[in-house]
Amino acid sequence: MDELRRLVQNAQSLLRDGYYVVSEPAPRAPSFLEVLGTPEQPSDVIAEIKFASPTMAPAHSPEDFHQLLKTFVDASPLGLSVLAEPNVFAGRLDYVREAAATGLPVLFKDIVVDSRQVEAAAACGASAVLVIQTLTTRGLPVASPQRLIDAAHGLDLDVVLEVHTLEDLDEALRTDADVLGINHRDLSTMQTDPATTSALLSARPKDRPVIAMSGVERRDQVDALLQAGADAVLVGSSVMSSPDPRRKLGELLHG
């Protein structure tokens, strides 16, 4: 069984256990779409908070969340991506809620397989939710991207639709997703290919904002992805595995 199938099964288990039931809705964070890809865009980096992953050597624990959140907000990124999944990525729904209260746009990051997770994203105050096209392309038992997009739009949430292959991209371009997220990491093998963004954007006309994701460790890589056509770059492991996340995020933001 590959890693992607395990992640889907974990999400389904969490749904059965009632993890995504949120009783008290939180105020909504600002939208990425108000500035993404416009001249008013204040930054080109989205900072991600995650405390574990199959590919990251953690340098921080969940007890560091509040200090890390303050550090990231003080650095003035374009927005925040916050892991909500607890078993694999050591995320929490409360982290999304607290990030949404900072005044920055917030992406609800998870393996979203069901509209109940979209409802949880909205209730926690996120402004956008990540949906992964590859799950459907691979034939895994999940709700279709368009169904999840419709659910999100019904709750006034933006959708970042993640793709990795040209097949993913062709399917994604037929949807109403607000933003495309090009993931350099193959979620089945967890291997990264930093040329993925340039390869996909050179193969198809760009018709909506694009966020490049995964494997970004230096500012020159950020610049290369922007030159390839991305509007913003999401950085996570390189910051969260650094003993000095303030310095590392600053390097990625400003060089």
Q: Name the 3-class secondary structure at 251.
A: helix
Q: Return the pLDDT at 200.
A: 98
Read off the pLDDT of each residue in 14-33 and give the average, rounded to a whole number: 96
Q: Return the pLDDT at 255.
A: 76
pLDDT at residue 1 greater than cutoff 70: no
How far apart (Å, rounded) are the C-alpha atoms in residues 214 and 238?
9
pLDDT at residue 189 greater than cutoff 90: no
Place of tokens 């509209």: 115
pLDDT at residue 79 greater than cutoff 90: yes
**Secondary structure tally for the chain: helices H, strands E:** 11, 8
Which 8-state DSSP code applies to residue 185? B
The answer to whether the beta carbons of residues 197 and 224 sit under 8 Å apart is no
**Dihedral over alpha carbons 104, 33, 78, 49 (to 10 degrees):** 70
238 vs 57 pLDDT, higher one: 238
pLDDT digits (tens, 9 = 90+) for 48-71: 999 998 887 778 999 999 999 999
225 vs 39 pLDDT, higher one: 225
Read off the pLDDT of each residue in 19-25 and give the average, rounded to a whole number: 96
pLDDT digits (tens, 9 = 90+) for 148-161: 999 999 999 999 99
pLDDT at residue 205 greater than cutoff 70: yes
Say how many domains are in the chain. Answer: 1
CA distances from 91 to 7, 88, 94, 151 (A): 14, 8, 9, 23
- Which of 121, 203, 186, 131 minimizes the C-alpha distance to 161? 131
- Which of 92, 85, 171, 174 minimizes the C-alpha distance to 130? 85
Q: Return the pLDDT at 187.
A: 85
Q: Return the pLDDT at 188.
A: 82
The answer to whether the beta carbons of residues 229 and 247 sit under 8 Å apart is no
How far apart (Å, rounded) are the C-alpha atoms in residues 85 and 79?
19
The answer to whether the beta carbons of residues 204 and 170 sit under 8 Å apart is yes
69 is written with which tokens? 């959140």
How far apart (Å, rounded) are the C-alpha atoms in residues 235 and 199?
20
131 is written with which tokens? 């949906």
Q: Return the pLDDT at 89.
A: 94
Q: Return the pLDDT at 3.
A: 85
Q: Return the pLDDT at 57.
A: 76
pLDDT at residue 113 greater than cutoff 70: yes
124 is written with which tokens? 């926690």
Q: Which domain holds residue 86?
A: 3-19+28-254
pLDDT band at 166 (very low <50, low <70, confident <90, very high): very high
How far apart (Å, rounded) are the C-alpha atoms in residues 245 and 248?
5
Looking up residue 210, the CATH number of its domain turns out to be 3.20.20.70
